[in-house]
């Protein structure tokens, strides 16, 4: 069963927190698979959105078929006023898949947060699922 967040060999959480500086993350592609903000509040769904704009069709397809699962969280605002929220879901805004041209754990892993979650919903954290 997958767990959130992934942990390194010492057991430390690999939750990627928002950083003050942004970088050009052109060696990755992301595809959104869940828009929890839409589920809770309505409006237009972002499911299926692919980023960044520099990603090629091949990179996007690799994200869809080979991508690592992630989720982005805000500080709980998405759940404001919602009753009966599952504690494991609290703060989750988006979920998706990422493909990177380099090994996992690099700056590219922050790309979804910087390029989509932060500007679109104010997300402050990205977590990668540990597959067992």
Could you report the per-residue pLDDT of 23-69, keeping only the tens digit for each? Answer: 444 799 999 999 999 999 899 999 999 999 999 999 999 999 999 99
**Domain assignment of residue 89, given as a range:** 16-128
Compute the chain's Rg from CA coordinates.
Answer: 14
Smallest Cα–Cα separation from 101: which of 8, 46, 44, 24? 24
Encoded tokens for 51: 């980023």
- Map tokens 């104010």 to a residue: 122
First to last CA, the chain: 6
CA-angle at 34, arms to 44 and 109, nearest 5°: 115
Measure the CA–CA gap between 39 and 21, rounded to whole angstroms.
31
In a domain, 36, yes or no: yes
In a domain, 4, yes or no: no
Q: In this structure, how many other beta carbons lie within 10 angstroms of the beta carbon of residue 111? A: 27
In a domain, 70, yes or no: yes
In a domain, 60, yes or no: yes
Q: How confident is the model at residue 132 (pLDDT cuts 50, 70, 90)?
A: low
In a domain, 111, yes or no: yes
State how many domains the chain has: 1
Encoded tokens for 119: 């500007």
In the three-class reduction of DSSP (H, G, I as helix; E, B as strand; rest coil), residue 54 is classed as coil
pTM of the model: 0.78
In a domain, 56, yes or no: yes
Encoded tokens for 91: 């703060």
pLDDT at 91: 94
Do 111 and 98 form a contact (C-beta atoms < 8 A)? yes
Cα distances (Å, whole numbers) of residue 37 to 5, 53, 83, 125: 20, 22, 15, 15
In a domain, 109, yes or no: yes
In a domain, 9, yes or no: no
Q: What pLDDT digit, counting tens, does each position of 95-118 carry?
A: 999 999 999 999 999 999 999 999
């Amino acid at each position: 069963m997958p767990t959130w967040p992934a942990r390194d060999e010492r057991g430390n959480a690999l939750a990627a927190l928002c950083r003050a500086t942004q970088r050009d993350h052109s060696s990755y592609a992301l595809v959104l698979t869940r828009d929890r903000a839409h589920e809770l509040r309505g409006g237009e769904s972002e499911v299926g959105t692919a980023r960044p704009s520099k990603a090629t069709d091949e990179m996007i397809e690799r994200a869809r078929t080979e991508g690592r699962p992630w989720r982005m969280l805000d500080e709980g605002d998405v759940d404001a006023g919602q009753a009966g929220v599952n504690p494991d879901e609290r703060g989750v805004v988006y979920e998706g898949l990422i493909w990177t041209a380099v090994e996992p754990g690099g700056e590219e892993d922050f790309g979804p947060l910087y390029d989509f979650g932060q500007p679109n919903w104010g997300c402050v954290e990205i977590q990668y699922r540990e597959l067992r």
